[in-house]
Chain A
């Protein structure tokens, strides 16, 4: 089972690339020209996010090295132990719904501190992949049509996030 999951994970990206290239060739598109055009957009995305990353990596890195994160974790540790929630993940779970770039910084910090291939490191990665910046999305979508009464959207979206985080933790525990 675990082998199969690994196999499928490794197959996903190459298979999708292969299918898209073959499909492009069948439809007689200039596949390489289109690839280059698209790749240029990739540069823009990274350049746009770079200054944000510098700022947030600094903030999160110094929070960790100064010992502030450890103190915060110690404070809520008894609570988390009751529900068997891994304390190391808590900073990520708290920041993830609020800000995309700060959660990248926190997730990277967790992976670096505990090891990228450790159970905690993999959990951080899966949580990052499986959840979104929920509060930010709700704010942008609601304010774009000038709506203030959001009814139950917050409950529904945050429940989904919580399930995403819990499932990530369970799957990672199962895999390692």
Chain B
């Protein structure tokens, strides 16, 4: 993907700047850009290490088990078709917990494992099953208690109060998730009806 987009960006912006005689701006922005990437990474190093450390403490306690138990009714509501499949339920639960805690790197492998388990139950192996679609929609909804990356960006740019966006992010995420889940449920019902006819 980026192998296509990146050269396009570079070619368009560099050639436009050169032809419009904007060379001085172009040069200074080249060095500005790499410098702000360094600044962001240094600030991010602090935030990421702090958060990864704290979450690692949490994963070594029973907090995960408690969260797992709390999520079970929600999972049963979202995935009515896998009521008997405890393995799939547990994998989906672990994937959701990793997302909530902001462990993007751990969430994806867990989610893919759940996809594999769901594929075994899938009647048509060429098509996503209803449960798979729900799993993907939940993963694209980005439900996260602390949006660490964005806090790091804000603090690297010297925001007065880098964490002030947390509640607005929660509100927007919850609205997006509710709509995503509702739309998915409605479309599942619609496609089930069509199959019966």
Residues in chain A within 8 A of chain B (CB atoms) = 5-6, 8-10, 12-13, 16-17, 20-21, 23-24, 27, 29, 31, 34-43, 45-46, 49-50, 52-68, 98-99, 101-102, 104-105, 107-108, 111-112, 116-117, 122, 125-134, 136-138, 140-142, 144-145, 147-153, 155-157, 159-161, 163-165, 167-168, 171-172, 175
Contacts and interface: CB of A to CB of B under 8 A. Distances in A.
Interface residues of B, number: 98
Contacts of A128: 147, 149-150, 153
B179 interface: yes
Given A132-B142, A155-B183, A38 B53 contact: yes
A42 B36 contact: no
B153 A125 contact: yes
13 contacts: A12-B163, A16-B54, A23-B61, A24-B57, A39-B53, A62-B14, A67-B17, A98-B5, A108-B36, A141-B139, A144-B112, A147-B128, A157-B137
A6 B167 CA distance: 8
Contacts of A99: 1-2, 5
Contacts of A17: 54
Given A145-B116, A150-B128, A66 B166 contact: no
A151 B194 CA distance: 14
Interface of B: 1-2, 5-6, 9-10, 12-14, 16-17, 20, 22, 25-26, 28-30, 32-34, 36-38, 40-41, 44-45, 48-63, 105, 108, 111-112, 115-116, 118-119, 125-128, 132-133, 135-137, 139-142, 144-147, 149-151, 153-154, 157-161, 163-169, 171-173, 175-177, 179-180, 183-184, 187, 191
A37 B59 CA distance: 12
Among B150, B158, B177, residue most surrounded by chain A Cβ atoms (within 10 Å):
B150
Contacts of B40: 53, 57, 104, 108
A60 B41 CA distance: 16
Nearest to A95: B5
B53 A36 contact: yes
Contacts, number: 338
Contacts of A127: 172
Given A9-B161, A104-B149, A126-B172, 9 more contacts: A24-B58, A66-B17, A125-B165, A129-B165, A141-B136, A144-B116, A150-B133, A159-B183, A163-B176
A6 B168 CA distance: 9
Q: What is the interface of chain B mostly: helix, strand, loop, or mixed?
A: helix
Contacts of B165: 9, 122, 125-126, 129
A116 B39 CA distance: 15
Contacts of A55: 2, 6
Contacts of B60: 24, 29, 34
B20 A9 contact: no
Contacts of A147: 119, 125-128, 132
Contacts of A112: 36, 157
B50 A42 contact: yes
Nearest to A30: B60
Contacts of B17: 62, 65-67
A9 B165 CA distance: 7
Contact of B16 (A20, A35, A67, A116): A67
